[in-house]
Chain A
Amino acid sequence: MHDSELKKLLLESCPVRPGQEARAWKALQQRLYSSKPAQSWWSWLYLPVWRGAGIALAAICVLIFVGNSVVMNYRPISFASADSEVPGIYATSFYSHSAQAQVVWLNGLAPATDKPTYLDPTTVIHRTQGQTKPADDPNRL
């Protein structure tokens, strides 16, 4: 059976009434374009809307803040160096993460004493009346 014969047979058995096709097309158009499509709450993730842009900007700011905080806490923001000037004394500088402080460690220093130590006589400052000196430690000023 040819197509033309089939079309003729269909028209005879199921005749299309006048205007039926136009009404059907109009109803279909209304359903297609007038009704809002159902969107999920997460549609801002993949649809270009202002809400998604705002949330993305906020997320970027939070990431910058967190990254800044992590870097600031981990990386020493200060710098310290130390060099020994005397043989037998070793100077080491490092950053202490537990104390969050720069540390200069001097090894080989002779202990301090409470006995008179070397001091150029010309630089000795004589105490005026009223100034008291700790009795137990003459080197304390």
Chain B
Amino acid sequence: MKILALILTLLVLGISPSLAGDKVRVGLYFAENTPPAPKAELAPKKLEQRLNAVFGFTYYELVKAQEIEMDNEWQQWAVPRNDFFIRVEPLACQPGETKTVYYEIYKDGFIVAKGKYEPHHDTPLFINGPDFKQGRFIFVLEAR
């Protein structure tokens, strides 16, 4: 019985991380290889490793972050810069369905790309942005 209880607990733990959260954190990171200022807020270690696996930069400095409410089914903007920002809109869904957000990427005031994203815990979305000086801007969308 103890073994069965342990297995059932592990099963529950194995499935639960796939459930989506109620908020999406939208963060703009500046990726670079030169060390940032000492006061700069860097990405958490795990996120840094993941970003490094895709983009290959050494440092990922958080420019600005904000949280998007998934229950508010209207457009919400994350504007960390004048020339590069994102519009996010949680789409309506039936109870039990996976929540999806619609996003639009703006560069210099004009839309350049759009798409959809299903936020899941532990599966962030990285959006490769424009180069800047010796680095690059990257949007990171994470379920909270």
Residues of A at the B interface (CB closer than 8 Å) are 57-58, 61-62, 64-65, 68-69, 72, 76-86, 89, 91, 93, 96, 98-106, 109-114, 116-120, 138-141
Contact = CB atoms under 8 A, between A and B. Distances in A.
Nearest to B101: A80
Contacts of A105: 128
Interface of B: 3-4, 7-8, 10-11, 14-15, 18, 49-51, 53-54, 63-64, 79-84, 100, 104-105, 107-120, 122-133, 137
Contact of B120 (A77, A84, A96): A77
A138 B118 contact: no
Given A102-B126, A106-B127, A112-B83, 11 more contacts: A85-B111, A91-B115, A96-B126, A98-B54, A100-B122, A103-B54, A109-B131, A110-B107, A112-B130, A116-B82, A118-B109
A89 B4 contact: no
B108 A61 contact: no
9 contacts: A57-B4, A68-B15, A78-B117, A93-B115, A101-B123, A102-B117, A102-B125, A106-B113, A112-B130
Contacts of B49: 99
Given A58-B3, A101-B54, A140-B63, A83 B113 contact: yes
A86 B112 CA distance: 5
A14 B105 CA distance: 109
B126 to A, nearest CB: 5
B142 to A, nearest CB: 9
Nearest first, the 4 A-B pairs at minimum CB distance are A82-B115, A78-B123, A99-B53, A99-B50
Contact of B116 (A80, A91, A140): A80
Contact of A78 (B50, B64, B119, B130): B119
A96 B84 contact: no
B123 A65 contact: no
Contacts of A99: 49-51, 53-54, 126
A80 B119 CA distance: 9
A141 B131 contact: no
Contacts of B7: 58, 61-62, 65
A141 B79 contact: yes
Given A99-B50, A139-B82, A89 B113 contact: yes
